[in-house]
Structure 1
Amino acid sequence: MVNIGIVIPAAGQGKRMGAGYNKQFLALRDKPILAHTIGLFEESDYVSEIVVVGAEGDIATIEELVSFYDLKKVVKICIGGVLRQDSVCTGVRALSPTIQRIVVHDGARPLLTLPAFHKFLKETETNSAAIMGVPIKDTVKQVDSAGNVLETLPRDYLRAVQTPQIFDRGILEEAHERASVSSYYGTDDASLLEWIGHPVHMVEGMQENIKVTTPEDLWLAERILTMREKER
């Protein structure tokens, strides 16, 4: 489980947050969300390289953040594409050729813990494509375009997908290449593997591993960190 490369897509502008700038620069406990996210992988002995992919207008800010927090494993800060899929593809290409195991993790998921990450690596070391997911708590119904309920989906077989997601480099690059040629866009990298017919394994994720998208999410993230401090 050594020599792992991390790709962190951080180009989203987070309009739902309403901050007027990239949500990943918002402070979480007096530290930018993105700094929390990168810092987790900086601490891992299994991680060799980190590539951060941001919007063109954010590159200087990300460079300052990486320098200020002394994040030495960040080897490249790249300009992202129009969609997340384009950004991840750019990040993968920026990793050294020696990196053959790649983890993709959302820049706006700052609450992953080091033990959970290492457990994920251990549980997926024999899988060429694997992801985190958590059971769905709510009843989920499928509706049509008019809002009419078509059916109630069985919760036992539904998961809310998270990152990190881990892939062998060759199969991830193949999926991105084929998707690019066919102009196919998936909702995450795992969906590209599914699209080309490659098996994807899922392991249990963390309920706390939320994606900070709205002001309510930021409030919840603060509460989670407070709870963790009390438990120490």
Structure 2
Amino acid sequence: MSMSSSPVIVALDFPDQDSALALVDQLQPSLCRLKVGKELFTRLGPAFVETLVGKGFDVFLDLKFHDIPNTVAAACEAAADLGVWMMNVHASGGRRMMEAAMERLATKSHRPLLIAVTILTSLGEEDIHEIGFQGTPADNVLRLAALAESAGLDGVVCSPLEAAAIRARTRSDFQLVTPGVRPATASLDDQKRVMTPADAMQAGSSYLVIGRPVTAAADPLQALRDINASL
């Protein structure tokens, strides 16, 4: 059972355990979930994820698996055994990869949510053309979101700017997890396609991934409370 009713997922983008836990110890499981990405997981491994779960937090393991179907399915099963609440794969890995992951997770008594990455929020139109995608970021997000839904996944990661279009084309319980969310007073940092938390929720987002506006705040708990209040 999820500990939090808040849609906010705080991104733990830290280089070491002490820094990450110093932030976590200022937060509350009832007010947010936590995202563990590639850097922290590579440095600290599964034990760190289990520490966060042990502290009562729902954990989104953001490793963006992308490999042959059996390898991804096995990796998703291993993540489920850590007690994570949600994990992701790249939709561009294809239907068979996504279906294999869902089939493996269906055997677990505790089945985490499985979502797919569409187009990274750091990529603009020039970027996606350079790597061989035709059309706009929005065109590709919609195409990959439809593929993920038809493969049986629980949702997708997408820019908040594409949330309304995806929401209009997918089932009502399809989860939209949106990075690139910044309060109006925050800097854009390296995100190109952004929206405020309240606007993102109104556009159809299910969960908001928020990093530096909370993690770099003078009072992270108050920053989190302010974001929740704005919703």
Report which of the two has the higher share of helix. Answer: 2
Which gives a bigger RCO, structure 1 or 2 (Cα 8 Å, sep 6+)?
A: 1
Larger Rg: 1
Report which of the two has the higher share of strand. Answer: 1
Give the alignment's TM-score, normalised by structure 2. 0.31
Give the alignment's TM-score, normalised by structure 1. 0.31
